[in-house]
Amino acid sequence: MNLILPQQRSRIREDITEAVGDVPIVRLRRVASVCASSRCYLKLESCNPGGSIKEKNATVLVNQAEEAGLLRPGGTIIESSSGNFGVGLAIVGAARGYRVIIVVDAKTTQAFRRMLKAYGAELAEVSEVDAAGSMQKARIALATRLTETIPGGWYPCQHYNPKNPDAHALFTAREIEDAFGEDLDALVVGISTGGQMSGLARYLKPRYPKLQLVGVDVQGSVIFDPAPAPYKMTGIGLSFRPPNLDYDAIDKAYVVPENLAYSMCHALAQREGLLLGSSTGAIVAAGLHLAQHMPPGSRIAMINPDRGDRYLETIYDLDWLKDNGFTLIPAEHMDVAIEQLCICDPVR
């Protein structure tokens, strides 16, 4: 494995994949009043070389495929992705000399498209919409067909690959352990493919049985709510229940409205100096609600999946927000908005 555990790190890397995972954890202080009484931390996976946590999955899955002989020199990496995992694969593909094809859809932003092309990836697009207003199933179907027709093609299939959680069991969980030891009360994680939550749970639950693992989804997704509805957010949410998600490992769950998530992103930028991705707003809103209902002094860690620069034309664009029916909640009203969130049953 090319990822390096914290205790093994020096400042010199042999290639870009070895720099993945070396990220800071920062305390939130001004975004909500509960930050004064609880210790709320954000693990900045946005500080990975390509700007997201999905570079861990990409590196580990490519390494495993190479070791198993599934991906050979001159081969082609094919994946369905709305952005970050595709970028992670494009980065690893560029470093290792593979052709990369990413299947995208209309929700893939121009920023992600430009990033993928800059790393040398090719884009294949779908337009078929399912009953939930999603194109995820169509993307997966096209990625499968491409893999069957392109010689040397390898499809990691992040949504269904049982090895997808490995990166977080092997590395992210141990980074958290190295930072906090046993002095952590809750860990808040966004849910999409289920890889992060399941990998973290695999390593942390046996070691820290009192640790609360909290899953976060976006309103409209069916991961925790069986009623689908269209939504704009990328990074979390699915139109189907993810096979890789260990629902039994989740102690609490939240379904966060997009408007609150995007408002929290603006508040984090203006009150903490953190320009982060759209799903981070949902994760932080849920984490702060959790903190409001835990004893003072509790330590809550939240995982920030990606940077905000790739969302400058969407959630950080006031015209885009207005055109899509979103009205920002003023930062001074954030405490009330957070309090209105509800904890839901993760296994219903």
Is the same domain home to 323 and 237?
yes
3-state secondary structure of 190: strand
Mean pLDDT value across residues 123-140? 79
Extract the tokens encoding 323.
């055109």
Mean pLDDT, residues 153-159: 94
Q: Give the pair of three-digit tokens for residue 255.
A: 């379904």
Sequence-ordered list of residues with C-beta below 8 angstroms from that of 177, at least 6 positions apart, any chain: 203, 204, 207
Q: Which of 43, 54, 107, 163 is catalytic?
A: 54
pTM (global) more than 0.85? yes
pLDDT at 135: 80
In a domain, 213, yes or no: yes
Angle, alpha carbons 184-190-191 (nearest 5°): 125
Residue 132 has pLDDT above 60, yes or no: no
Q: Which helix (H) or strand (E) holds 299?
A: strand 299-304
Residue 87 resides in a domain: yes
Cα distance between residue 243 and residue 177, in whole Å:
26
The answer as to whether 161 is a domain residue is no
At 22 the pLDDT is 86
Co-location of 144 and 193 in the same domain: no
Containing H/E element for 154? strand 153-154
- Length of the chain measured in residues: 348
The 8-class DSSP code of residue 333 comes to G
56 is catalytic: no
Q: Which of 108, 125, 154 is the last residue of a domain?
A: 154
- Which amino acid type is present at position 162? P
Residue tagged 């490995």 (tokens): 166
129, 154, 179 - which closes a domain: 154
Domain-embedded: residue 125: yes
Which domain-ending residue is among 119, 154, 189?
A: 154
The pair of structure tokens assigned to 217 is 């989804």
> What is the C-alpha separation between 72 and 75, in angstroms, rounded?
5
Mark whether 112 and 42 lie in a shared domain.
Answer: no
Q: Are residues 214 and 235 in the same domain?
A: yes
CATH number for position 248: 3.40.50.1100
* pLDDT tens-digit series, residues 201-254: 999 999 999 999 999 999 999 999 988 999 999 889 988 899 999 999 999 999
Tokens of 235: 């990074």
Q: What is the mean pLDDT of residues 22-30?
A: 96
Are 204 and 326 within one domain? yes
Residue 206 lies in a domain: yes
Residue 74's CB is within 10 A of a number of other CB atoms, namely 10
Residue 257 CB: number of other CB atoms within 10 A? 18
Name the residue range of residue 62's domain: 54-154
C-alpha dihedral (201, 280, 276, 170), degrees to nearest 10:
10
Asked if 191 and 334 sit in the same domain, the reply is: yes
- Same structural domain, 207 and 333: yes
Domain count, the chain: 2
Same-domain check for residues 220 and 255: yes
Q: Is residue 159 part of a domain?
A: no
Query: At residue 346, does pLDDT exceed 90?
Result: no
